[in-house]
Amino acid sequence: MIRPRAKRRAARALTVLAAVTALGAGTLGTAQASDFTNEVTYRGHEFTVPASWQVVDLDNHPDACVRLDRHAVYLGTPSGRQNCPSGVTGRTEALLVQPAKAAASGRSTGRVTENRTARTYRATADGIAVTAAYGSDRTEIQEVLRSAGLPVASAQAEKPAAAPSALAVPADATSFQGKGFDACTAPSQATMDAWKADSPYGAVGIYIGGVNRGCTQANLSAQWVRAQYTKGWRFFPIYVGPQAEAGAGSCTGDCEVITDPEPQGIAAANDAAAQAGALGLGQGSVIYDNLEQYTRGGAVTARVLAYLDAYTKRLHELGYRSGAYGSVSSLVTDLVANANTITLPDVIDFARWNDQATTDDPAIPATLWADHQRIHQYAGDQRETHGGVTIGIDRNQLDVGEGGAPQPPQPKDTKLASTGPAAVSNGSPATLSATLTTDTGEPVAERKVSFTLGTAQTCDGTTDARGAASCTIASVDQPLNADATVPVKAAFAGDDAYKASETAATVKLQYVTGRAYGLSAGISLLGLPIGIRPTPDTGALRTAGAGATAPPCTSNISVLVINAKTLCAKVETKAGPSSATSTASLEEASVGLPGLPVLGLSGIRSVSTSSCTAATGSTDLKLTVAGVEVKLDGAPNTTVDLGVVGTKLVVNEQVKVDGGLTVNAAHLTAPGVDVVVASSTTAAHNCG
């Protein structure tokens, strides 16, 4: 049902009207949200999409090809008899919304997964299942999903489950000698049965995944694969990963390209093996990476070879055989020229459309791929009818033996090197990192490294193309020892290709120290010996955690020439990150020494604060000398002239200490005299 909400431009209206003709009332519809967007409703869910996107009702157009290489919204269940070209390659932003299967029906809150390698979101919500593809604009497809209330921000990584053992097919499922065909979408069971009875073909190419797979797969499942195998069909699984160029082969300028060959090759192999396993195609199967025709030479060839080398090596590690599809004029020529410098795919699927159903070709030396290791795509973009059913196909001649699962390489020695951090702080996150390499220094990618901080805090990271792995402890919680250090361990468990290794290191634990006291005095004048130990005194604190220390305030001190009231001291520490604040205060104090004017102080407070970023201090007080108030501007280390040689009074005395600062509200010195009023000290350690 079409419900225009506002005046729209005529050209845009015609596009939408033509695309959604005969939409079922109450089930789906479109309405314009603005000059730039339309709102598409399906089963009570409303998606806001760009107005330029075509909207296709699959219930009314069952032969429509659900393609991911063009901007479109497909509503309904894709038909098993889609009319698709034989090869659709490329990826852009597109949306398929269909009725949910019984298991997902009734789910009121959406669930979203993402396959970053294949650039695809999958979501389920009440009554619907969504497939959302994206090319270069991931943000746009996220906004489309978000407009329907789907929690795209919390999307989990898609992890295809391996097919149940009852559906797994034997390793010979990808071995065949004879004619085969490939189609953009896996044909329906009826089509497969009709073609089995009436066509010359015995093998079928199935597009199992990849960022540039242009068609969705309505029929393809482990059950479908098992059913075809039981009826005598064999397979050549095709994975359409990143391409050499955006406009390579059948790409129309929108193919995702190889930019970082080694990690992309590894990621493609991981995803290809996962998709194959989900279809019941286990170890020993051949998986063909589809590389469309490209312009050979220079950086393009270098990227292709590095990508395919990494893809093949990783598939071998996973127990699969590697195949590669490409043109004789590009990929095959590059592989032959570099046969001794890279790991060649186990099977070559070469395209030369000469209508010759043979696996021999003058461009391929007889010594390469000589042991039942070839497929020849000898015709493309053909429409054939068998058993009364017509589909678009490419024609292929196969000579692929069983070969067996490739033997993984002998495990290589590895070494781990811890790379950080230098210090951690309780209550703060800490990112632990290490680099995994072979003993000859080659990086080891796509491997799990387990980290342990102290004895109980753990996390896992995965190595990238440089062999670097990292993970984050959300909040460090470690005891402070005498050395202020914490042990860090990184471990790689090893696998069929690489031996286990581990490394141990220590990191510094950030900590703080602090002390505060109200008053101290040492006077040794003739006939007037006075000693006042720091009172009240927090004592020297050393900690890596949060807390507070505050001894009871002292109400009064009166010792001959020194009097003080309400003396307090406190040290507070924080974690995440570490910091300390010391505070000392007195209500009032007076000092009246022989030969000196009487000093009166009131409202006295000193503060010292230290962290790994700064150390600061301040003093508040009112001062009188011989009853006359002295104006103070709060500047650190202010000297007050008392008119007596050899006597010094410093207000807001600030003295740097290692990692911090001591602040004395007032410090009186003279021969035989040392009086400190309101002293605060803090420091932060292991900051670098």
Question: What are the tens digits of pLDDT across the range 264-310?
Answer: 999 999 999 999 999 999 999 999 999 999 999 999 999 999 999 99
> Which H or E run includes 544?
none
Q: Write b or e for each residue in 586-612: b if 16 or more Cβ atoms lie within 10 A of its Cβ, otherwise e.
A: bbebbbebeebbebbbeebbbbbbbbb
CA distance 506 to 487: 4
Q: Where are the beta strands (DSSP E) in 485-625?
A: 485-492, 501-509, 511-525, 528-537, 541-543, 547-549, 554-559, 562-574, 579-591, 599-611, 615-625
* C-beta separation of 140 from 159 below 8 A: no
Q: Please determine, for residue 3, whether its predicted confidence score (pLDDT) is greater than 50.
A: no
563, HSE (Cβ side, Cα atoms, 13 Å) = 9
- Span 76-86, average pLDDT: 83
pLDDT at 171: 85
Please state, in angstroms and as integers, the Cα–Cα distance from residue 217 to each residue in 66, 536, 566, following that order.
9, 79, 82
pLDDT at 31: 52
- Superfamily covering domain 177-400: Glycosidases (3.20.20.80)
Question: What are the tens digits of pLDDT across the range 228-277?
Answer: 999 999 999 999 999 999 888 888 788 899 999 999 999 999 999 999 99
CA distance 301 to 336: 12
pLDDT grade for 409, boundaries at 50, 70 and 90:
low
Question: What are the tens digits of pLDDT across the range 4-45?
Answer: 333 333 333 333 333 443 333 334 555 555 568 899 999 999
- Span 588-600, average pLDDT: 94
pLDDT at 8: 34
pLDDT grade for 496, boundaries at 50, 70 and 90:
confident
Contacts of 645 (CB under 8 A, 6+ apart): none
pLDDT at 410: 67
pLDDT grade for 91, boundaries at 50, 70 and 90:
confident
How many distinct helices (H) and strands (E) make up the chain? 7, 40
Q: Please determine, for residue 685, whether its predicted confidence score (pLDDT) is greater than 50.
A: yes
pLDDT grade for 406, boundaries at 50, 70 and 90:
low
Nearest-CA neighbor of 193 among 412, 447, 438, 389? 389
Contacts of 271 (CB under 8 A, 6+ apart): 115, 117, 118, 209, 210, 239
Q: Please determine, for residue 107, whether its predicted confidence score (pLDDT) is greater than 50.
A: no
The answer to whether domain 414-508 has CATH 2.60.40.10 is yes
Q: Which of 74-83, 224-233, 334-343, 610-619 has the lowest mean pLDDT?
A: 74-83
CA distance 555 to 467: 64
Higher pLDDT, 14 or 560: 560
The total of other beta-carbon atoms located within 10 Å of residue 184's CB is 25
What are the residue ranges spanned by the domains of the chain? 10-157, 177-400, 414-508, 511-685
Question: What are the tens digits of pLDDT across the range 118-157?
Answer: 899 999 999 999 999 998 899 999 999 999 999 998 888 8
Nearest-CA neighbor of 194 among 389, 384, 63, 382? 389
* C-beta separation of 561 from 600 below 8 A: no
Per DSSP, 64 falls in state -
pLDDT at 570: 99
Please state, in angstroms and as integers, the Cα–Cα distance from residue 176 to each residue in 203, 361, 391, 406, 439, following that order.
7, 19, 22, 18, 41
- Span 496-514, average pLDDT: 94
Average pLDDT, the chain: 90
Q: Please determine, for residue 396, whether its predicted confidence score (pLDDT) is greater than 80.
A: yes
Indicate the pTM of the whole model: 0.59
Question: What are the tens digits of pLDDT across the range 575-587?
Answer: 989 999 999 999 9
CA distance 13 to 7: 9
Please state, in angstroms and as integers, the Cα–Cα distance from residue 363 to each residue in 17, 331, 350, 368, 634, following that order.
52, 11, 10, 11, 88
* C-beta separation of 598 from 627 below 8 A: yes
- Span 672-678, average pLDDT: 96
Query: 416: helix, coil or strand?
Result: strand
pLDDT at 334: 96
Q: Percent of the chain having pLDDT more than 70?
A: 92
Nearest-CA neighbor of 516 among 482, 558, 553? 553
